[in-house]
Amino acid sequence: MNNFSYQKVSETADALDQISKCNLTQIIAGGTNIIDLWKYNLIQPKLLIDINGIEKFKRIQQTEDGGLFLGALATNSDTAYHMEVEKNYPLLSRAILAGASAQIRNSATNGGNILQRTRCYYFYDAASPCNKRKPGSGCPAKNGLNRMHAIVGTSEDCIAVFPSDMCVALAALEAVVHVVSSVGKREIKFSAFHRLPGNTPEIDNNLQPNEIITGISLPPEGFAENYSYLKLRDRNSYAFALVSVATGMKLENGLIQKIRIVLGGIAHKPWRVPEAEDFLIGKNPTAVNFASAAELILKDAKGFGDNDFKIELSKRAIVRNCIMAIHPETLRPGAQPSL
Ligand SMILES: Cc1cc2nc3c(=O)[nH]c(=O)nc-3n(C[C@H](O)[C@H](O)[C@H](O)COP(=O)(O)OP(=O)(O)OC[C@H]3O[C@@H](n4cnc5c(N)ncnc54)[C@H](O)[C@@H]3O)c2cc1C
């Protein structure tokens, strides 16, 4: 029996106060990940702080610079179907709707999504060693079942992937995470939020234990003209990505003026290689050029056996998704992209 206390708060200050009282505290938002972690006995909180009463965290509103602020407690569904998101950030809307199921998206929140933990089988199996769950115990995935595991940014200690779809689009949009603690507010660039495993795979991101996410801001540029999110997985719905790609592009006189390409499902964080984007600037948006960029993005990729196929799959997914971004109308349900 794991005895715990439950506190529902309606003010940020109360949440921060509760956090400071106990070092075995967990925040619950939509509960779609934390309850699983608890049921698998991977966490044993002594104090559960329910932040769902903090109404201001549920807001989605325009920012002074013409961007959009997504409250930490806005649900994934409310975000994906929000008028401004559909109009100005359709890449984000597509990525969110590619994840989980409608029921889960109705509960899942934006703050919880970016803090969700890996789906590595060994992490969830408390009987297996796992450096992420128990530092120093080993990583059985490297020589075990690793079909879903990472091919870039891995370390000796961990080859787990970060499974979010939403975050792949947030990385492409260069979102900013807003956090608060008892010492004040702070903003974290999305590229600096999640971490590679290195020799501390137990730490997924750079949020400090005493901090709460208040929301995520999007800059004005949403790539609403030329965008695409492609998610490749074992089933066509309700499955995590084997490989996903978010592309946002701006074209001028038929040439690439700006491009973002971010991959999901292949690393411990959304995977972006600026060198590959720079290579494409000023070039024609052709399959040949996208294939060259894909080679740059995957140049250090390494498989572990079961997941070797992800290297070639990622390269093909990049080319296909960038072509689809030129013609987003091919994204209509049932439409097939013409390559
Ligand atoms: C069956 C299933 C399939 C899924 N498939 C997909 C998929 O295909 N793609 C995908 O992207 N996701 C998928 N998910 C994951 C889902 O999107 C996440 O579980 C969800 O987004 C987490 O949000 P939540 O609000 O429920 O978080 P919770 O479970 O409430 O919390 C998750 C973590 O975030 C912390 N937390 C939450 N809010 C805050 C805050 N404001 N400040 C600080 N800490 C906070 C909690 O303490 C906890 O550690 C799936 C989940 C399930 C169960």
| pLDDT one digit per residue (tens) for the chain, 339 residues | 789 999 999 999 999 999 988 888 999 999 999 999 999 999 999 999 999 999 999 999 999 999 999 999 999 999 999 999 999 999 999 999 999 999 999 999 999 999 999 999 999 999 999 999 999 999 999 999 999 999 999 999 999 999 999 999 999 999 999 999 999 999 999 999 999 999 999 999 999 999 999 999 999 999 999 999 999 999 988 899 999 999 999 999 999 999 999 999 999 999 999 999 999 999 999 999 999 999 999 999 999 999 999 999 999 999 999 999 998 765 544 444 433
Maximum alpha-carbon separation in the chain: 66
Ligand 1 closest atom vs CA 43: 49
Give the number of domains in the chain: 2
What pLDDT was estimated at residue 337? 43
Nearest to residue 261, comparing CAs of 177, 148, 172, 143?
172
Ligand 1 pocket member 30 (CB < 6 A): yes
Question: In angstroms, what is the span from residue 34 Cα to ligand 1's centroid?
Answer: 7
Ligand 1 pocket member 170 (CB < 6 A): no
Residue 255 resides in a domain = yes
What pLDDT was estimated at residue 338? 39
Which residue from 104, 166, 211 has its CB within 8 A of the most atoms of ligand 1, so it is best to mutate?
Answer: 104
**CB atoms inside a 10 Å sphere around CB 126:** 12
CA dihedral 264, 328, 260, 198 (to 10 degrees): 0
What pLDDT was estimated at residue 336? 45
Ligand 1 pocket member 116 (CB < 6 A): yes
Residue 55 resides in a domain = no
Which residue from 8, 16, 24, 34 has its CB within 8 A of the most atoms of ligand 1, so it is best to mutate?
Answer: 34
Ligand 1 closest atom vs CA 73: 41
Ligand 1 pocket member 122 (CB < 6 A): no
Ligand 1 pocket member 128 (CB < 6 A): no
Question: In this structure, what CATH number is given to the domain that contains residue 320?
Answer: 3.30.390.50
Cβ distance 249 to 226 under 8 Å?
Answer: yes
Residue 339 resides in a domain = no
Question: Helix, strand or coil for residue 176?
Answer: strand
Nearest to residue 247, comparing CAs of 163, 309, 313, 327?
327
Residue 180 resides in a domain = no
Question: In angstroms, what is the span from residue 105 Cα to ligand 1's centroid?
Answer: 9
Helix or strand holding residue 280 (H, E): helix 274-280
What pLDDT was estimated at residue 335? 47
What pLDDT was estimated at residue 22? 80
Residue 15 resides in a domain = yes
Residue 77 resides in a domain = no
Residue 43 resides in a domain = yes
What pLDDT was estimated at residue 330? 57
Neighbouring residues of 114: CB distance < 8 A, sequence distance ≥ 6: 164, 166, 167, 170, 177, 193, 194, 205, 213, 216
In terms of residue numbers, what domain contains 46? Answer: 1-50
What pLDDT was estimated at residue 331? 53
Residue 120 resides in a domain = no
Question: In this structure, what CATH number is given to the domain that contains residue 12?
Answer: 3.30.43.10
